[in-house]
Structure 1
Amino acid sequence: MTQKERIIEQAMHMFVAQGIKSVRMDDIAQQLGVSKRTLYEQFGDKEGLLYQAMVCYFEHNRLQWATLSAGARNVLERMFMVLGNVMDHSDVTSRMMDNLKKFYPAVYDKLVREGTEKNRQEFRSMLTEGIEQGLFVDSIHIDLAITVLYYTASALVTRKDLILPEGISEREAFVQIVSNFFRGISTAKGLELIDDYLKRYEPGKERQ
């Protein structure tokens, strides 16, 4: 790992643990045992380092998705696992993105643009794979399906003021709503796999 990569990694952990606004360049330099001049030479300013650290954060999440879903039996199960993991990390991600939007809007806007495009590409890849495997109907409008899935998942992850029925957790509600979306685009084979997954599903199981 290069010095620059080590700085980005450490800054990312500090921003997550302590909050984006409270972490100063002085704090990062002291933690890493480097000079502030080194930080400014490599990143320009705090926004430059913050952007790189947030990119690192989201790349870590993507690597975790890949590891988590490596043993999935099919693309439907993989999508459930990935979306469930997104939900599990929603508190941290929402807090960080809220702070970015408030204090560093330019970094926020850039990350949202780039993240939205990456997420749409991944959803497209998985939906296309599902069609090829005969799990999703081939008559669906993929771009529309991606939009509905993306904004449904985003709303469930970021909206913390939703009033849920008594006795159901946020994650259980998330699984139910997402599974209903998949039912709407699935073939008979896909519906069987959804039912199989839900029978095996236990709250918190994928988090381990």
Structure 2
Amino acid sequence: MTQKERIIEQAMRMFVTQGIKSVRMDDIAQQLGVSKRTLYELFGDKEGLLYLAMTCYFEQNRARWDALCADARNVLESMFRVLGSVMDHADTTGRLMDNLRKFYPAVHDKLTREGTEKNRQEFRAMLRQGISEGLFLDRINIDLAISVLYYTASALVTRKDLVLPEGITEREAFVEIVSNFFRGISTAKGLRLIDDYLTRYEPGKDRK
């Protein structure tokens, strides 16, 4: 790992644990035992370092998704696992993005544009794989399905004021909402796999 990579990763950890606004370039320099001048030479300013640190955060999230999907039985289970991981880390991600929106809107907007496009590309590939494997209906509008999935899932990820029925956790509600979405676009084969996954599912089972 190069010095620049080490700084980016350490800064990312500090932003996540201590808060984006409260971490100063002086704090990062002191933590890493480098001069503040070195930080400015490598990254220009805090926004430059912040962008790279948050990019690192989201890349680590994607690496976690890849690990979660490594032993999935099919693409449907992979999608359940990825969406579950998004839900499990929603508080941290939401806090970071809220801070970025408030204090560093240019960084927030750039990360949002890039992240949205990457997410759409990955879910598009998964949906196409599901269609090719006979799990999803081949007549679905893939881009519309992605948009519906995004807004359906975000109902629980971002709407913390959403009132749930008594006795159901956010995680359980999330799984039910997502599974109902998949049922709407699945073939008979896909429906069987959804039922198979849900019979094996336990809240928190896929967390890492």
Q: Shorter-chain TM-score category?
A: over 0.9
Paired AA for residue 88 in structure 2: D
Q: Tell me the residue number matched to 1:100.
A: 100
Alignment of structure 1 residues 1-208 onto 2, 5 Å: 1-208=1-208
Paired AA for residue 206 in structure 2: E
Kindly provide the CA deviation profile for residues 132-180 of structure 1, in whole angstroms up to 9, marking residues without a partner as x.
0000000000110011112222332112111111111111100000000
Indicate if the aligned counterparts of 1:120 and 1:150 stay in contact, CA closer than 8 A: no
Paired AA for residue 48 in structure 2: G
Kindly provide the CA deviation profile for residues 82-121 of structure 1, in whole angstroms up to 9, marking residues without a partner as x.
0001100001000000110011100000000000000000
Structure 1 Cα separation of the partners of residues 109 and 152 of structure 2 = 20
Deviating more after overlay: 52-61 vs 145-154: 145-154
Paired AA for residue 45 in structure 1: D
Structure 1 Cα separation of the partners of residues 156 and 128 of structure 2 = 24
Aligned length: 208
Paired AA for residue 17 in structure 1: T
Instruction: Using the aligned pairs only, state the percent identity.
Output: 82
Structure 2 Cα separation of the partners of residues 38 and 157 of structure 1 = 38
SS at match of 2:70: helix
Paired AA for residue 21 in structure 1: K
TM-score, structure 1 normalization? 0.99
Indicate if the aligned counterparts of 2:134 and 2:190 stay in contact, CA closer than 8 A: yes
SS at match of 2:50: helix
Paired AA for residue 166 in structure 2: E
Paired AA for residue 175 in structure 1: V
Structure 1 Cα separation of the partners of residues 135 and 172 of structure 2 = 23
5+ long unaligned stretches in structure 1 = none
SS at match of 2:181: helix
Structure 2 Cα separation of the partners of residues 163 and 27 of structure 1 = 40
Structure 2 Cα separation of the partners of residues 151 and 48 of structure 1 = 30
Paired AA for residue 58 in structure 2: F
Kindly provide the CA deviation profile for residues 27-76 of structure 1, in whole angstroms up to 9, marking residues without a partner as x.
00000000000101111110110000000000000000000110000000
TM-score, structure 2 normalization? 0.99
